[in-house]
Structure 1
Amino acid sequence: MDIRECLPRDKFDYEAVRKLSEFSDVELKVIIPELMEWLQDGNWPISKPVEDLLLRLGEDLIPHLKDVLKTQDPQWEYFILVGLIDRLPVSHLSMLQTDLVRILESPTPDEVLEELDGVILELLEKIRETNER
Structure 2
Amino acid sequence: MTATTVHSAPHDDTESAYARACRLIETELGGRRLPPEPRTSLDDLARTRRHKTAFITAVWNTCFPAGVVEACRVVEAVYPYLDPDGLCTDAALTAAWNILEPEAHTWPEQLQDQRRRFTDKCLTRALAEANTAVADHA
TM over 0.5: same fold?
Answer: no
Which TM bucket (shorter chain)?
Answer: under 0.3
Q: Identify which of structures 1 and 2 has the higher relative contact order when contacts are C-alpha pairs closer than 8 Å and 6+ apart.
A: 2
Relative to total residues, which structure has the larger helix share, 1 or 2?
A: 1
- TM-score norm. by structure 1 comes to 0.24
Structure label with greater radius of gyration: 2
